[in-house]
Amino acid sequence: LIRKYVSGQRNRLSDGEYDLDLTYVTPRVLAMSFPGVTFLQKMYRNDITTVSKYVKEKHGDHYWIYNLTGTEYDEDKCFEDRISTYQWEDLHSPTLELLFRACKSMFDFLCQDPKNVVIIHCNAGKGR
């Protein structure tokens, strides 16, 4: 209930088994909010283990996470080190060089296999 309130009018993935603040922008590009790691964060954010389970069930090894925040979490534990971080300040624009590097990395990963998907997240899932 708290998670639905926090995500407001944004699209949520709700398929009976999962209810996540995550949306498919295209079939191969997903956006989500920063996953909850601590007990308190999990009350209002996607539980990181639930996100990991969903991603692995739906996409197997064909995913890469792009963390656009400066906040790090134990990616080995949940996402098997499939994370790239491109940090810039919340509610600000990145440098063109940083934006280009991030987009190029996503493009390259998507081109490697038609099954590959990229999952992009910032703090709230909408600011960057």
Can you give the pLDDT of all 128 residues of the chain as single tens digits? 454 555 455 565 666 777 788 889 999 999 988 887 777 766 677 888 888 999 999 999 999 999 998 777 765 567 888 999 998 877 778 899 999 999 999 999 999 999 999 999 876 545 44
Beta strands in 1-128 (DSSP E): 13-14, 19-20, 22-26, 29-32, 63-67, 83-85, 117-121
Strand partners, 64: 118
- The reply to whether 38 falls in a domain is yes
Rounded to 5°, the CA angle 107-127-124 comes to 100
The CATH number for 107's domain is 3.90.190.10
- The reply to whether 128 falls in a domain is no
- The reply to whether 47 falls in a domain is yes
Domain membership of residue 88 as a residue range: 2-121
pLDDT given for residue 91 in this prediction: 74
pLDDT given for residue 128 in this prediction: 41
pLDDT given for residue 9 in this prediction: 54
Strand partners, 36: 47
- The reply to whether 126 falls in a domain is no
Give CA–CA dist 87/94, Å, rounded.
8
- Structure tokens belonging to residue 39: 């007990």
Could you say which of 78, 103, 111, 122 is catalytic?
122
Contact present, 97 and 64 (Cβ < 8 Å): no
Q: Can you give the pTM of this predicted structure?
A: 0.80
**Would residue 122 show up in a list of annotated catalytic residues for this protein?**
yes
- The reply to whether 127 falls in a domain is no
- Structure tokens belonging to residue 18: 């999962």
- The reply to whether 31 falls in a domain is yes
